[in-house]
Amino acid sequence: MELTSKYVNTYIDTRGVVEERLSFTQAVVKGLAPGGGLFVPKVIPRFSLDDLISLSSLSYAGKAATIFKAFGVDLPAQTIDGCMEDAYGLASANFSVPEVTPVKRLDTNTYILELFCGPTLAFKDLALQCMPRFFSASIDALRAQGAPEAKEDFLILVATSGDTGKAALEGFANREHTSIIVYYPHGGVSDLQQAQMLASEGNNVQVYGLHGNFDDCQTAVKQVFSDEAFAQELAAAHKLRFSSANSINWGRLLPQVVYYVNAYLQMVASGAVQAGEPIDVCVPTGNFGNILAAYYAAEMGTPIERLLCASNVNRVLTDFINTGVYDITDRSFVTTPSPSMDILVSSNLERQLFELNGRNPELVCQWMRALGEEKRFTVDKQTFKALRGRFSADWVSIDESLETIREVYDACNYLLDPHTAVGYKVAQRLSGSNPVLIAATAHWCKFGGDVYRGLAGIKAHEALPKELAQLSGFALNRYIAENYQYAGEVPWRMAELESREQRFGEVCNTDASAVKESIVSFLQA
């Protein structure tokens, strides 16, 4: 195919509700489809092996731009190139290494895809450095066409349990046509996560702590989100509309496809595989966005054979992949050292189901209705067969996940974070003869306490030795870096936070009216 062809793809939704022909820019600005479904592109572009290999000579930003163009993004080529240079280019210095997402060899057949070199040291940066730039560019483009969905600017509301909030703050800071408020459970995130958020820069950002846990926080934000009267007030008084920019936005998914293509090309370049030879990919999974991106990379022609889904004890996805039954009737939510995988309802799975059932929206509607009403659904035989044809899954206990950190440190001279440790253990159990690429989703320094527990053989939830228990997160990271040679240095972006001014610190009550007041006071400031 002609890689730079300027065709425009259209977007359909997983519940078959939308009848108009929507473009990329419309799908990104709308976020969620009316009817609750998710947008997917009508056509998935297909690259031949030669097309793929020809991308090798491009920079990461160049590859990303080429892939977006192949997906038929309805923006001028120049705009796409510019957004990608700003997000991933060397000059932007957003990512600490020129490869952006380097691949490292752990042992004979195991490779690590480091997705933690961005501004917040977690893989969500890959999507959230890119998506807000496309979001603003989409608003400009739609306004120029007089499209009604882009009349107002957008206020992004995010409830976060830690990682997403900071990545969203970094991505939306100073982006045209947007402002962002992040709410986090006060006392419910680590001191480092809090320091990361409170030191955020940008003239369009605000952070509030809320009394209560993450669930309370999310409930309050959701209530405000669906308050029609308040939304109308906001539109009238401030010409603003709400958006959530969460991981079900197609604009967050597409950037993630790029790093799987890029990883394969790195493996070919280093001789890990011959061009065309298949690899397997193993992903520590939560909302199913990251592993779904690997699926789309495979559909585009990247030689990825099996997708290995790794869960922690909150193993609803593993059970689903092994049985075809998604069942949350009898599951309680367990807090683990890999909090970003602690999840019961995995929102991006809906797209995967749509792809595996032959893009049948009636079946998706049926399953989602059952999930809402009976808290479970069972897929049909054919869909289950398609699922088993591509995916394998397993889960790892809390103890095992921490033990794996020590095991890999000793055997491979490499320090994993607790999420990636889950991925490693599952890869070890499920991988066959293909080389396996494990997505490393966070830098260890974001989870120093549990990483130390793993290294020192202390169980999760048990106290650290007295002299370490009293240290700040920053000091504990330094201790680990000084005492474990393969830990490497603490990335400067984490280390420098200790002396940074904290711009925010206000804590509010956790109810919808307090959240509304906080929004009004932010907009008046």
Ligand X SMILES: *Cc1c(COP(=O)(O)O)cnc(C)c1O
Between 25 and 336, name the residue whose CB sits nearer to ligand X: 336
Residue 203: Cβ-neighbour burial (10 angstroms; 0-12, 13-18, 19+): exposed
In the complex, minimum distance from the CB of residue 306 to ligand X, in angstroms, rounded to a whole number: 17
In the complex, minimum distance from the CB of residue 333 to ligand X, in angstroms, rounded to a whole number: 15
SS3 131: helix
Residue 418, interface with ligand X (CB under 6 A)?
Answer: no
Alpha carbons 302 and 277: distance in angstroms, whole number = 10
Among 15, 30, 63, 124, interactor with ligand X by CB under 6 A: 124
Alpha carbons 39 and 248: distance in angstroms, whole number = 9
Residue 351, interface with ligand X (CB under 6 A)?
Answer: no
105 CB neighbour count, 10 Å cutoff: 15
SS3 387: helix
Question: Residues 30, 63, 69, 124: which is the catalytic one?
Answer: 124
The DSSP result for 336-375, as a single string, is -S-GGG--SS-TTHHHHHHHHTTS-HHHHHHHHHHHHHHS
Q: Which residues contact 242 (CB under 8 A, 6 or more apart)?
A: 154, 155, 156, 157, 224, 225, 231, 234
Q: Which stretch binds ligand X (CB under 6 A): 70-78, 119-127, 192-200, 380-388?
A: 119-127
In the complex, minimum distance from the CB of residue 123 to ligand X, in angstroms, rounded to a whole number: 6
Between 234 and 421, name the residue whose CB sits nearer to ligand X: 421
SS3 472: coil
Tokens of 165: 């909030």
Between 81 and 417, name the residue whose CB sits nearer to ligand X: 417
Between 137 and 442, name the residue whose CB sits nearer to ligand X: 442
| C-alpha atoms less than 13 angstroms from C-alpha of 298 in its C-beta half-sphere | 19
In the complex, minimum distance from the CB of residue 145 to ligand X, in angstroms, rounded to a whole number: 32
The CA dihedral of 96, 101, 106, 109, to the nearest 10 degrees, is: -170
* Footprint (CB under 6 A) of ligand X, residues 316-345: 340-341
Residue 250, interface with ligand X (CB under 6 A)?
Answer: no
436-440 and 178-185 as β-strands: parallel, antiparallel, unpaired?
Answer: unpaired
In the complex, minimum distance from the CB of residue 127 to ligand X, in angstroms, rounded to a whole number: 9
Between 89 and 448, name the residue whose CB sits nearer to ligand X: 448
Among 306, 406, 419, 443, interactor with ligand X by CB under 6 A: 419
Between 266 and 285, name the residue whose CB sits nearer to ligand X: 285
In the complex, minimum distance from the CB of residue 443 to ligand X, in angstroms, rounded to a whole number: 9
- Alpha carbon 83 to chain centroid distance? 19
Residue 165, interface with ligand X (CB under 6 A)?
Answer: no
Residue 441, interface with ligand X (CB under 6 A)?
Answer: yes
Residue 122, interface with ligand X (CB under 6 A)?
Answer: yes
Alpha carbons 271 and 436: distance in angstroms, whole number = 14
* Footprint (CB under 6 A) of ligand X, residues 278-297: 284-290
Tokens of 196: 């990361």
Catalytic site residue 124? yes
Residue 117, interface with ligand X (CB under 6 A)?
Answer: no
Between 10 and 101, name the residue whose CB sits nearer to ligand X: 101
Residue 352: Cβ-neighbour burial (10 angstroms; 0-12, 13-18, 19+): buried
Binding mask 206-245 for ligand X (x = CB under 6 A): ----------------------------------------
In the complex, minimum distance from the CB of residue 420 to ligand X, in angstroms, rounded to a whole number: 8
Binding mask 442-481 for ligand X (x = CB under 6 A): x---------------------------------------
The DSSP result for 211-254, as a single string, is SS-HHHHHHHHHHHHT-HHHHHHHHHHH-EEEE---TTSHHHHH
Interface residues with ligand X (CB under 6 A) are 122-124, 163, 247, 284-290, 340-341, 419, 441-442
The catalytic site residues sit at: 124
